Amino acid sequence: MAYLIDGKKISAEIKDELKEKVAVLKSQGKEIVLAVIQVGTNPASTVYVNNKKKACAYVGIRSLAFELPETVSEDELLALVRELNVNTEVNGILVQLPLPKHINEDKVIMTISPDKDVDGFHPQNVGNLSIGRKGFVSCTPAGIIQLLKRSNIAIEGKECVIVGRSNIVGKPMAMLLIQENGTVTISHSRTRNLKEVTKRADILIAAIGKPKFFNAEYIKEGAVVIDVGMNRDENDKLCGDVDFDSASTVASAITPVPGGVGPMTIAMLMTNCVEAAE
Ligand code: GUN
């Protein structure tokens, strides 16, 4: 049976470390403030945003909530972001995605000051990551690196196969694994013979958004399996991109859903907020 990589426990450790750091900063008169903007009332976004606010409260970060109606114009949203950019009390700005269709997401991301872009989505931060310079890193892939490191799983020299090529997960994940001296393959929905590719992986990162897609047939004996998926199965139960029961018969270590990658994303957002203040 595979070792269970406990994201909930590791994220709690990180948040406790941050809590101490934030308390020290507070004693020096520095308060950390995160502005969280949600447009509309997408139920999934509301859950994510509430979890982020809860984590802020735990760590000791003040969160400012901006709940804008679905009908808000792009100009109004951009004006708010610009206002927060110049507000010296605000350290981090987070605009929850997705945004309504009439708003250009790219334009909004580009407008966030790179120094306050705690999501790590701004092209300046993405560029810095790709050339190995300091900057904010997208929270989910950064969290996966922490999961591996804190579970004593070596990356150096390993065959790392990512399935999924999104700007938020797949691409930054590749950059981070290269930085850790992994040998990296990015595959995706159009990859031919996907099974052959994923079977090469010592470390498999599943991020294609298909419920329970990766069963034991896709996985090499002894591989480490990281499940980024967040889907609903036929019974409306939360599940990942990995068929956990099947995969855990061949994997040496595996993340559950929920309780794997998800909590790590929030822990890394908190890490980025503290970094923004420092
Ligand atoms: N929507 C889904 N994931 C994310 C995330 O990490 N950040 C933001 N801002 N929106 C999201």
Strands of the sheet with 3-4, listed across from one edge: 3-4, 253-254, 224-227, 203-206, 159-163, 183-187
Q: Name the residue at shortest CA distance from atom 1 of ligand 1.
A: 97
The pLDDT value recorded for residue 137 is 98
For residue 1, the model assigns a pLDDT of 85
The pLDDT tens digits of the residues spanning 223-277 come to 999 999 999 999 999 999 999 999 999 999 999 999 999 999 999 999 999 999 9
Determine the angle formed by the axes of helices 43-59 and 7-27, rounding to 10 degrees.
50
The ligand 1 atom at the shortest distance from the C-alpha of residue 269 is: 6
Report the alpha-carbon distance of residue 256 to residue 79 in Å, rounded. 40
Q: Is the pLDDT of residue 25 over 90?
A: yes
Closest residue by Cα to residue 226 from 246, 250, 251: 251
Provide the 3-class DSSP secondary structure of residue 129: helix
Average pLDDT on 48-64 reads 98
Q: How confident is the model over 82-120, as pLDDT tens digits?
A: 999 999 999 999 999 999 999 999 999 999 999 999 999
Distance 53 CA to ligand 1 centre (A): 13
Same fold, 30-113 and 139-262: yes
Q: Which CATH class is domain 30-113?
A: alpha beta
Determine the pLDDT at residue 126: 98
3-state helix, strand, coil in the chain (%, to 5): 45, 15, 40
* Active site (annotated) includes residue 96: yes
Is residue 15 pLDDT above 90, yes or no? yes
Region 162-186: mean pLDDT is 98
> Does the structural domain 139-262 have CATH classification 3.40.50.720?
yes
Q: Confidence band (pLDDT; 50, 70, 90) for 81?
A: very high
Give me the catalytic one of 6, 15, 38, 96.
96
- Domain ranges in the chain are 30-113, 139-262
Ligand 1 atom 9: residue of nearest CA: 96
Catalytic residue among 6, 15, 38, 52: 52
pLDDT, average across residues 64-93: 98
Contacts with 193 (C-beta within 8 Å, 6 or more apart), sequence order: none
Q: Are 252 and 218 in contact (CB under 8 A)?
A: no
With a CB cutoff of 8 Å and minimum separation 6, the contacts of 220 are: 199, 200, 201, 202, 250
Of all protein residues, whose CA lies closest to atom 3 belonging to ligand 1?
A: 97
What is the C-alpha to C-alpha distance for residues 174 and 160, in angstroms, rounded to an integer?
Answer: 9
Distance 29 CA to ligand 1 centre (A): 30
How far does CA 210 lie from the centroid of its chain? 18
